[in-house]
Amino acid sequence: MTVGHSLSIEDRVRAIVTAHDGERGRLLPILHGIQAEFGYVDEAVVPVLAQELNISRADVHGVITFYHDFRKAPAGRTEVRVCRGEACQAVGAENLMAHAQRRLGVSTGETTPGGDVTLEQVFCLGNCALGPSVQVNGRLYGRVGTERLDTLMAEADAR
């Protein structure tokens, strides 16, 4: 967890829960809030959420694990998501993914040893006429060939 916060994890989680007071079915918005704050959803939040929302720990855990978005561990400094949807496959997405894996020396879902880059797959970014599509730290890029991907990763790294 990030240093420099005087509040405990529990207090920060409770504050996020409070921010969603009055919303119906608020577990997903809360989990998004937790991921935005901490960069991932730590196991330690499960009992806090269970208590705050008055549901079982198993239920909270079940929801967290159901959705691909909620990370169990922090991502690397740069998160690269390569689209593997059919429209991007039609213009070379599988090659691009293979290139990214070779280049970074990791497989899909892994982070490079130094914690620099996390490589993820995603099925469609809604940019299917301008594929292959890639998201780098949440920003969408189209027509990404292998060279452009290398440039994008280098630029993200330099920031």
Partner 1 sequence: MSTPVTVYVPRDSAARSVGADEVAAAVRSAADRPIRVVRNGSRGMLWLEPLVEVATGEGRIGYGPVRPEDVDGLLAAGMLDGGDHELRLGLVDELPWMRGQDRLTFARVGVTDPLSVDDYVAHGGLAGLRRALERTPAEVVEEVTASGLRGRGGAGFPAGIKWKTVLEAAGPLKFVCCNADEGDSGTFADRMLMEGDPFCLIEGMLIAAYAAGATEGYIYIRSEYPDAIDTMRAAIDIAHAQNWLGEGILGSATNFELFVRVGAGAYICGEETSMLESLEGKRGMVRAKPPIPALSGLFGKPTVVNNVLTLASVPMVMADGADAYQARGVERSRGTQVFQLAGNIARGGIVETAFGISLGELINEFGGGTGSGRPVRAVQVGGPLGAYIPASDLDLPMDYEAFAAAGAMVGHGGIVVFDDTVDMAKQARFAMEFCAEESCGKCTPCRVGSVRGVEVVDRIIAGEDRDTNLDLLEDLCELMTDGSLCAMGGLTPLPVRSAMRHFSEDFLARDAGDRTGTAGRPVPEDAASGPPAP
Q: How far apart are CA 116 and CA 159, in angstroms?
A: 12
CA dihedral of 3, 71, 60, 37, whole degrees rounded to 10: 40
Q: Which is nearer to ligand FES, 74 or 142 (CB)?
A: 142
> Secondary structure of the chain: what % helix, strand, coil (to 5)?
45, 10, 45
Q: Residue 75 contacts by C-beta under 8 Å, 6 or more apart in sequence? A: 39, 40, 111, 118
Q: How many residues bind ligand FES (CB under 6 A)?
A: 11
Q: How far apart are CA 74 and CA 84, in angstroms?
A: 23
Among the residue ranges 5-13, 56-64, 72-80, 111-119, the one whose residues contact partner 1 (CB under 8 A) = 56-64
State the DSSP code for 111. Answer: B
H or E element in which residue 136 lies: strand 134-136
Annotate each residue in 128-147 with x if it binds ligand FES (CB under 6 A) or - if it does not, as one string.
x--x-x--------------
Q: Which is nearer to partner 1, 1 or 87 (CB)?
A: 87
Instruction: Return the residue of 73, 143, 154, 155 that touches partner 1, per CB under 8 A.
Output: 143
Instruction: Return the residue of 129, 137, 151, 154 that touches partner 1, per CB under 8 A.
Output: 129
Rule CB under 6 A: is residue 124 a binding residue for ligand FES? Answer: yes
Residues 140 and 130 sit within 8 Å (Cβ to Cβ)? no
Smallest gap, in angstroms, from Cβ of residue 6 to partner 1? 29
Q: Which residues bind partner 1 (CB under 8 A)?
A: 23-29, 31-32, 59, 62-63, 66-70, 85-92, 95, 122-133, 135, 138, 140-146
Residues that bind ligand FES (CB under 6 A): 83, 85, 87-88, 124-128, 131, 133
